[in-house]
C-alpha cells in the first residue's frame, strides 16, 4: 500500500525563537515548546520532523540533499520561489525534505513509488 504524501515524514527548519512554518499550507507555529510536541501540522495533517536551524542541522541536511542532481525537480524536496529578492535574482529555496524519499534515493532495493518491487 502506497503512503499519501502527508503521511511521509517531511523535515522542515525550526528556529528556537521564531518557530516554524508548514511549507505545504503555510501555517505558522511560534515557540520552542512546539518543537517537542508538534509531530503533525494542525491544519493540513502533514507528518513533520523539526530540524534545528540554530545548531546547523538544517544547513547540513540541505547541503547533503543538494548533492542530488536536479533535486529541485524531484519529489524529494518541497521548493518554493523566494519572494524577498528582486525578480532577476529569484531562485527556488528548499523548504522541506521528504526523509523517506531522500533515504531511498541511493538504495537500489528501495521500491520507487508507482512501480512494482521485484525483490
Cβ contact 21:27 at 8 Å: yes
The reported pTM is 0.78
Residue carrying C-alpha cell 508538534: 38
Mean pLDDT, the chain, as a whole number? 80
Residue 1 pLDDT class (50, 70, 90 cuts): very low
Q: What is the pLDDT of residues 70-109, one digit of tens each?
A: 888 888 898 887 776 666 666 778 899 999 888 888 665 5
In the chain, where the domains are located: 5-104
Q: SS3 of 1, please?
A: coil
Amino acid at each position: 500500500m502506497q503512503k499519501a504524501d502527508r503521511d511521509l515524514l517531511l523535515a522542515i527548519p525550526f528556529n528556537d525563537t521564531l518557530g516554524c512554518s508548514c511549507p505545504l499550507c503555510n501555517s505558522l507555529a511560534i515557540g520552542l515548546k512546539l518543537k517537542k510536541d508538534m509531530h503533525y501540522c494542525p491544519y493540513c495533517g502533514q507528518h513533520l520532523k523539526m530540524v534545528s536551524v540554530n545548531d546547523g542541522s538544517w544547513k547540513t541536511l540541505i547541503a547533503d540533499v543538494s548533492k542530488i542532481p536536479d533535486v529541485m525537480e524531484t519529489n524529494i524536496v518541497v521548493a518554493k520561489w523566494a519572494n524577498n529578492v528582486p525578480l532577476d535574482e529569484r531562485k527556488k529555496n528548499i523548504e522541506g525534505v521528504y526523509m523517506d524519499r531522500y533515504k531511498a534515493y541511493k538504495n537500489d532495493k528501495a521500491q520507487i513509488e508507482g512501480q512494482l518491487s521485484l525483490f
